[in-house]
Chains A and B, each alone.
Chain A
Amino acid sequence: MKKTLRIICALAIALSVAGCAKKAEPVAAPAAPAAPYKVAFIYIGVPGDLGWTHEHDVGRLALEAAFGDKVKTAFMENVPEGPDATRVIRQYAQDGYDMIFATSFGYMDPMAEVAAEFPKVKFVHCSGYKTSENMSTYFGRIYQARYLSGIVAGKMTKTNIIGYPGAFPIPEVVRGINAFTLGARSVNPKVQVRVVWTNTWYDPVKEREAAVALLDAGADIIAQHQDTVEPQKAAQERGKFSIGYDSDMRKFVGDSVLTSPVWNWGVYYVDTVRKGMDGTWKSSQYWGGLSDDVVRLADFSPAVPQDVRDLVSTQKVKIVGGTWDVFTGPIKDNSGKLRVNEGAKMSDEELLSFAWLVEGVVGKVQ
């Protein structure tokens, strides 16, 4: 009887010690090597697109360079927008990732759905507008760089027709087309920007076809809002200039690419992940511009003459310094109606829901 009691007591003690040991664990943790902060990326295309996804992947690699083995990054490529993305995002959340970046507009609803299920995971969505306690949005004012690239195109076109394959008629793309057109027409009021909607972000074949159609229509410069370098290649094959996007496409295509508005996501990713690691991350809506260095204008091709470069740098100084911004009136829409009065500046809300095209754009937002 006594023996049994002793055993039970011993067991109880052993168990309580074990319990204590468990409780003590968090204190002991710093001594052990800390688990890496796990960050996942959802890509719409592949890093080899040399454009949109490529630049996000450069940002991801910047994280690894900045934090070494303190972070572990992963990515999933070719994830379709819409409900299918829900599964992929949830999978990462379930696998214990601390922060998930979704890098296309169509991931917004899926991400919001999963974010509600995993309150401890931090969700960061590129280019949308839905936020919650644990879901942020981020984007950059690429329109500033697009305006500058428009100046280059406006100065260098001879036919005064510039072709612009655009992905979708949504505010993000419309804003870019408008900024580009304003830039081009600021130096050459005769410029027409012709838009062809491809209804896809990433489709090398369709992007090329759109560019070819525009070249056939008399365009002698091809700008674009797509994910790959195909429109630039199509222009080069015809001996025409182009304006890239996303990455410095001159590196991949050649000097026919006059310049490119480019992303520099690393700045934002490193800052955001650092905040996640030290616990200061808060849900926010980030929209940085040239002054944050999250967007840039790539180096010029040797084909761009000095006077054009000077024009660009004058405007750039104004934008970076904050004394002037792209969407300052008077601005007319492409039916000739005055939309922004002289001296008035469009608000961020208006820019984020842009649904009309400025004067000089040949095209329609449905």
Chain B
Amino acid sequence: MTLVFEKRKTVSKTAIVVVPFISFAVSLVLTGVLLVTFGANPFETFAAMFKGAFGSGRAFTETLVKAIPLMLTGLGVALAFKLRFWNIGAEGQLTLAGVAATWVAVYWSPWLPAPILLPMLVLVGCAAGALWAGIPALLKTSLKVDETLVTLMLNYVAILISQFLYYGPWRDPKGFGFPGTEMFPKAAWFPRIAGRAHIGLYFALVAAAVLWFVLQRTRWGFELKVIGNSPKAARYQGISVERNILLAVLLSGALCGLAGVGEVAGISRRLQQGLSLGYGYTAIIVAWMAQLNPLAIPFVAIIMGGLLVGGDQVQMVMGLPSSMGLLMQGMMLFPMLAGSLFTEYRIKRMTGTQTREAARGGV
């Protein structure tokens, strides 16, 4: 007798809603076990983490600071994933957009009228993100080059470009030779809502709603869905697969780019080391946990942001090593992936003959 995975014929609607919560509970239990082995009380730790992330107004704004780039990159990644375009390049798109926004903020500001500066900065930043995503999209649609590899490798290229600039030609002349551009002029700062949380939050929430509407309620959204399910079927229906993939991925890159714009214009107000702390990669977790649903992404991003900010407490209050925070993130992801697997598949027991038949059938 063997066990095999079998695709479920129908995916239960309740499962889609309930499974993520069960997965979350499972990950809490697993993390709890991990904490116990480190000699920490899991309840105390979770309480400290929750307090650190949501316990006060200031804490919550810090959680939002993390959640904003996660929402935007999460949305961008989710859109590409819907089409089965594996955009692992959110990090690079974010970074290059940060570079482009810096270019506008520092080098256009002397002659650009102040009121146009911010819109221009957003526009150029998003365009840079779109451009960076457009390269792998074009390679995929025209030459069938695997996008996973290209998007991933372009991350490093973008990061190196940004380093070259703030170590080299863009280095602040008044910075004693230390790396980093000069501070942006005030007109190029994203207004802050509370604490360090900036208006990128509004952009992210609007983007989530618009993306949901586009995917659910428009013809284009429908076309994208068909392409995601079966490019062959889409072609048969006369949908231009290449053109649509290209457009959607450009939009995906622009969303990731907006995250980068927010980071430089809203948080650091200059280009320097530490622009992105792996938001583009965490975005993948966010998108999966949200089951690629744009409306769920803001909530998941806030939970994830809370986990990152609350993770500080693991060190500060509980005195555990910093790697614990990363371990906990990993512990979150695995049950989630398992959960989504079991939503779509089920385990079936097979007798010997069935297995042979299945093997012959090419399962």
Q: Which of A74-82, A157-165, A258-266, A338-346 lies at the interface?
A: A74-82
Q: CB-CB < 8 A to B309: which residues of A? A: 87
B273 in the interface, Cβ–Cβ < 8 Å? yes
A206, chain B: closest CB distance, angstroms: 13
Those of B230-275 within 8 Å (CB) of chain A: 263, 267-268, 272-275
Measured in the bound complex, the distance between the Cα atoms of B334 and A209 in whole Å is 32
Q: Say yes or no for B196: interface residue by CB 8 A criterion.
A: yes
Which residues of chain B have C-beta atoms less than 8 A from A78's C-beta? Answer: 322-323
> How long is the Cα–Cα vector from A80 to B167 in the complex, in angstroms?
18
Interface flags for A47-91 (1: CB within 8 Å of B; 0: not) read 000000000000000000000000000101110111111111011
Does the CB pair A94–B58 fall under 8 Å?
Answer: yes
Closest-CB distance, B77 to chain A (whole angstroms)? 21
Instruction: Pick from B52, B65, B196, B322: contact of A76, CB below 8 A.
Output: B322
B222 interfacial contact with A, CB 8 Å: no
Count A-B pairs with CB separation below 8 Å.
69
- Enumerate chain A residues within 8 angstroms of B177, measured Cβ to Cβ: 170-171, 174, 353-355, 365
Contacts A46-B322, A82-B268, A366-B168: A91 and B176 contacting too (C-beta < 8 A)?
Answer: no
Query: Which residues of B sit under 8 angstroms from A362, Cβ to Cβ?
Result: none
Contact in complex: A199, B163 (CB < 8 Å): yes
User: Is A329 interfacial (CB 8 A cutoff)?
Assistant: no
Contact B275 A46 (CB under 8 A): no
Count of A residues near B, CB < 8 Å?
35
Q: Is there contact, CB below 8 Å, between A86 and B272? A: no
Question: Which among B62, B178, B263 has the highest number of chain A CB atoms within 10 Å?
Answer: B178
Cα–Cα, bound, A77→B58 (Å): 22
Residue of B with least CB distance to A85: B274
In the complex, which range does the number of interface residues on chain B fall in?
A: 20 to 34
Q: Report Cα–Cα, A80/B323, bound state, in Å.
A: 13
Asked if B361 is an interface residue, CB under 8 A from chain A, the answer is no
Q: Which of A94, A171, A199 has the most CB of B within 10 A?
A: A199
**Beyond A78-B322, A106-B273, A170-B177, is A88–B268 a contact (Cβ under 8 Å)?**
no
Contacts of B316 in A (CB 8 A): 74, 76, 91-92, 95
Q: Does A231 sit at the interface, judged by CB under 8 A?
A: no
Query: Residue of A at shortest CB range from B319?
Result: A74
Q: Are B176 and A81 in contact (CB under 8 A)?
A: no
Among residues of B, the one whose C-beta sits closest to the C-beta of A172 is: B178
Chain A, range 96-111, C-beta contacts under 8 Å to B? 105-106, 109
Q: Which residues of B contact A105 (CB under 8 A)?
A: 178
For A86, the chain B residues whose CB sits under 8 A away are: 196
Which residues on A sit within 8 Å (CB–CB) of B65?
87
Say yes or no: A82-B176 contact (C-beta < 8 A), given A77-B321, A91-B312, A91-B316. Answer: no
Contacts of A82 in B (CB 8 A): 268, 272-275
- For the complex, what is the distance from the CA of A79 to the CA of B357, rounded to whole Å? 56
Asked if A168 lies at the interface with its beta carbon under 8 angstroms from chain B, I say yes
| Complex Cα spacing A88 to B274, Å | 14
| Contact mask for chain A residues 332-366; partner B; CB cutoff 8 A; 1 contact, 0 none | 00000000000000000000111100000000011
Near A by CB (< 8 A), chain B positions 292-351 give 309, 312, 315-316, 321-323
- A: residues with CB less than 8 A from B are 46, 74, 76-78, 80-88, 90-92, 94-95, 105-106, 109, 129, 168-171, 174, 199, 352-355, 365-366
Cβ contacts A to B, 13 pairs, < 8 Å: A76-B315, A76-B316, A83-B268, A83-B274, A84-B274, A90-B58, A91-B52, A91-B312, A91-B316, A105-B178, A129-B178, A170-B177, A352-B176
Of all A-B residue pairs in the complex, the 6 with the closest CB atoms, nearest first, are A82-B274, A78-B322, A355-B177, A353-B176, A366-B168, A83-B268
